[in-house]
Amino acid sequence: MIQFDQTLDLSGLNCPMPLLRTKAMLAQMDSGQVLNVIGTDPGSPREFLIYARQAGHEILELVETDGKFHCLIRKA
């Protein structure tokens, strides 16, 4: 199991709020820390993959379970 430093539950929020709140949380974190994001917006996983690639962050895990996605992002 991957250890994480912060959790951000975005369940019930729709685009663009999940990505905006994730960006804001990552901005407050130190390089190398891991953010655990939980959400329900079906478009968010794709947005997170694109954002992470552009910003240099690393997606450690991205899974969907029972209508929720779980994403672990290591800050660059």
Residues with catalytic roles: 15
Task: End-to-end CA distance of the chain: give it in Å, rounded.
Answer: 20
Coil, strand or helix at 24: helix
Sheet holding 58-65, edge to edge: 6-10, 34-39, 68-74, 58-65
